[in-house]
Each structure stands twice: as structure tokens, then as C-alpha cells.
Amino acid sequence: MSNKLKLDLTEKHYQEALKVIPGAILGIRRPYNFVPGEYPIFFDHAKGGRVTDVDGNEYIDMLCAYGPIIIGHREEEIDNAVIEQMQNKGFCFSLTQPIQNKLAQKVIDLIPSAEMAVFVKTGSDATTTAIRIARANTERTKVVRCGYHGWHDWCVEVKGGIPEKLYEDVYEFHYNKLDELEDIMKKHGDDMAAIIITPVGHPLADKVQMPAPGFLEGVRDLATKYGTVLIFDEIRSGFRFDLGGAQKVFGVTPDLSVFGKAMANGYPIGAVVGKEQYMKVLADKVFLSSTFFPNSLEQVAALKTIEILERDNILDVIKAKGTVFGDKITEIARKSEWDIEVSGAPLMPFITFNKDAQNHYKKLRPAFYTELIRRGVFLQPYHHGYVAYRHTDEDLNHAANMIEESLSVLKNYL
């Protein structure tokens, strides 16, 4: 077993935060989503593929801010483009700057489902906008979902403060379970406004899944059969699996899609794109407005990020690095004495502990991630990781070695 990290300052900031912010930190970044007492709670700075906490501990950052960091932290070319816009033109106005047109045309050129586009700030903004578009087009009420789609009333898993009537028309099916969707559509298809699905499966705290042969095609066929709008939630997969999204990789085109995260390498932006026949309701029938949606800094960042992704073949490099890393940790897992599984490689690697009769996995999982964070590898016990462009071969090789070391000492925890 390795030595515990020094986390005095992070604990000090946490105690201060508890007095002024409910729960100290919002949502998924709270300590119970990691290993309380072992992980830092506050970061200080980051550069490239590494991040440093307030106590000075440095980590290989393989959570990548839960996905937005596709290239690396503090990318000068992107930041300089944003600074230039800020200093020379400004970014928050009563009217919109024309850079929105340039970004819209760019995503339309790249994404198969995109004939028109609008920009918002977050993934939850985007998924909720897409649902509103679908309901307005079909004049139907019901929605069937598969995946995590954000924190808004219709989709959030934690129902505190939300009347049941705001989500009673939302149904759920499991990824790669086409028969579940078929059953729901047989019962409710005539009033089903939308099917919304993550084209890559990433259930909460569970292994990452790729589509089984015919699954996405079957979803597409059911949407068409019932006149239901098909929405792909590509907040995580977009601008990572391909510049055109996972839909381009898998060859299945939805009616609407939502993008975010990696689109601007950390700057807050989301996009809703889709076929003109559906998107045009935003011109008059559907209201979409926010003081900050048109702000141009994020649009500048997105354009520059996409330019770099194209110019430097970033995604090909990430896939190559991730493949080597994924192969190595898969072999480590195969040789391990523990019942573990590697999924999501090469792009979204996740190491999960399979459930066992003795419930040892409940001890092994936090023990493994305790050992890993002490060895300077920042991953999350309940969420898949990411590979970024600035992760060096040495970073990824070291991370794999530390995974192997961490697994080797777990018997001390049982």
C-alpha cells in the first residue's frame, strides 16, 4: 500500500466551502463521487495532460474535466484566439456577432445530420432544446430515452424538487436492448415525440458499450416507422469519435443531434443540429433565448479547436495513443487475479469491478482508485476516463504501469 497524499489545503478549502455553498461543490464533483479523504477536492492549475491540486500534488489528468479537454489544458492557440476576440471586438452584446454563421456552417459541413444549427451553453441546454423541437414538430408529448441527458426536469435521475407530472411522459430503455424500445413503441408510439439516445452507451457507473450489430439501425427504423424524431446525444462522443460524431462512424443518421464538451476544448458551448424540416420550428413556433447563448468567446474557441483537430489530425493521434494504452490495460486486466473489465478503449477507457457474491467489489473499487490517485493518476471510480492529445506516450505508459501496481496490492484491503 502506498502513502496517503498530503491534502491539508484541499480539506481547508472544503470546510470553507461547506459554510457558503450547499454541499461545498456542485453535483458530480463532490467527494463522494471519488474516494473521500483520498482524492483532492480543489485543483489549482493544469497544463497539457497534467493537473495540479491546491496542495501541489500533480496528476496525469485522465478525466479531462469529464470530457471537454480533447487537446489539452491551456492550449495557447485557442486561448490566444479568445483573448484577441475579447480585447479587439468584445463578446457580449445586445445583438449577435456574425461569427455564429461561420461556426454554424462549419458544423453543418462536418456532421451528417446537420442542415441547420443553433448554439447554447451546456449539454443540458442542448438536450432540452432538442426535446422541445421534437415535441413542437410532432405535436406529441411522450419521450423515450437511453443514456444520461443532463440535469433538467424531464431527465434528471435525482427527482428532488421536481413534480412527477414534469417527467411522467418520459420512458427509459437500456442500451443495446432493442426489444425494450420495441415494446415501449408498441404501447406509446402514436404519442412518442422523440427517441433520444447516446450512440455510444455510457450508463452511470457502468462499463462503456459500443452498439451491437443492427442496434442503432433498429432504433432508426423504429423512429421512422412511428413518425418519431430520433435524437442522438453526442455530448460525449461528438468531436471525439469523429469530427462528424459517432453517427458518422456508425453510419446511422438521426434527425437531430446535440454536441458539446470536446467541441471547444473546455469553453462552455453546446450545439443543437439537425435536418431543416425539424430545426425550422425554432424560427417561430419554439422559443429559445438566453442573454449568454450568443456570446462569441466560446464560438471563437470552438472554431479554433475544430481547426486544430482537422489540421493536426488530432483524433487519429488520440486513437493511436488510446489503442496502445487500451491494449496494455486490457492485458493487465486479463492477467489480474481480480474480476475486472476494461471498456471504452481507445477513447473513453473505464476499469470496472464486476459484482461478486461476497460483494468484495464494493471494497476493491475504492481501494483500487485510492492506490491509483496516490500514484498520480487521476481517474474516477464511477465514470469512464478520456485520452487527450497532450497525454504523452510516457504519461500513458506510466498510467498503465500504475494501474498494474494498484491492482497488485488490493489483497491488502480485503
Domains and CATH numbers, the chain: 8-73+314-413 (3.90.1150.10), 76-311 (3.40.640.10)
Q: What is the pTM of this model?
A: 0.97
| Residue 204: per-residue pLDDT | 85
List beta partners, residue 326: none
Q: pLDDT digit string (tens) for 40-54?
A: 999 999 999 999 999
Residue 287 reports pLDDT greater than 80: yes
Residue 1 reports pLDDT greater than 80: no
Residue 2 reports pLDDT greater than 90: no
Residue 186 near residue 228, CB atoms below 8 Å: no
Residue 408, judged by CB atoms within 10 A of its CB (0-12, 13-18, 19+), counts as middle
Q: What is the mean pLDDT of residues 121-144?
A: 98
Task: Give the Cα separation of 374 and 59 in Å (integer).
Answer: 9
**Among 163, 234, 222, which residue's Cα sits nearest to residue 188?**
222
